[in-house]
Amino acid sequence: MSTRALIAKELKNGKYKTIYCHSDGYPKGVGKTLLTEYNTEEKLDALLNLGDLSILGKQLAPDPTKPHEHLDWQRDVTLAYGRDIGEKGTEAREYTYRRLLKASDADYIYVLGEDGAWQFTNAKKEATVWKNLAEELHDELQANKSQEETEEFIPKM
């Protein structure tokens, strides 16, 4: 069973440019990748331009010399339904706030606000409570950073 998510950008007109992501939609999956890899408006715009996703990866573009399709995709590369699988009607959509909350069967909704901060909510909860993604993942990101710094000093055999 997949943990589904919506990924959105708050627009100046009060609407939200939105795509669907099928896999790993929980905060330590899609949320962490959004926070660390798609943390600018430009990077998010490039992601949203791909349309709906099967998998969100750390990278947008696959290596063109290697296969990148549904059953044989490059790890750490985003797998888009339109670009990589050939599905139609997968383009990003603009939703009102109300429609965003009711748009799909998503478990989580992530929004990059006009203030540049990622917010998220568990869409399956009865009450909509928005949380700051960076604050929510702070301890995990610090632990990962410490581990990476430690690994740099371990000689490779």
Say which residue, 127 or 110, is predicted with more confidence.
110
pLDDT higher than 70, residue 143 = no
Q: Which two tokens stand for residue 40?
A: 């600018």
Residue 7, beta-bridge partner list: 19, 110
**Arithmetic mean of pLDDT, 40-62:** 96
pLDDT higher than 80, residue 152 = no
pTM here is 0.88
pLDDT of residue 102: 87
Say which residue, 22 or 141, is predicted with more confidence.
22
pLDDT tens by residue, 117-127? 999 999 988 88
Q: What is the 3-state secondary structure (H, E, C) of the chain?
A: CCCCEEEEEECCCCCEEEEEECCCCCHHHHHHHHHHHCCCHHHHHHHHHHCCEEECCCECCCCCCCCCECCECCCCECEEHHHHHCCCCCCCEEECHHHHHHCCCCCEEEEECCCCCEEEEECCCCCCCCEEHHHHCHHHHHHHHHHHHHHHCCCCC
Across the chain, what does the average pLDDT equal? 89
Contacts of residue 44, Cβ cutoff 8 Å, sequence gap at least 6: 7, 9, 34, 38, 112
pLDDT of residue 105: 85
**Contact, 7 vs 34, CB < 8 A?**
yes
**Contact, 52 vs 21, CB < 8 A?**
yes
pLDDT of residue 72: 87
29 band by pLDDT with thresholds 50, 70 and 90: very high
**Contact, 57 vs 76, CB < 8 A?**
yes
Give how far Cα 41 sits from Cα of 11, 85, 124, 144, Å. 11, 26, 27, 24
pLDDT higher than 50, residue 155 = no
pLDDT tens by residue, 70-104? 888 899 999 999 999 999 999 999 999 999 998 77
pLDDT of residue 144: 62
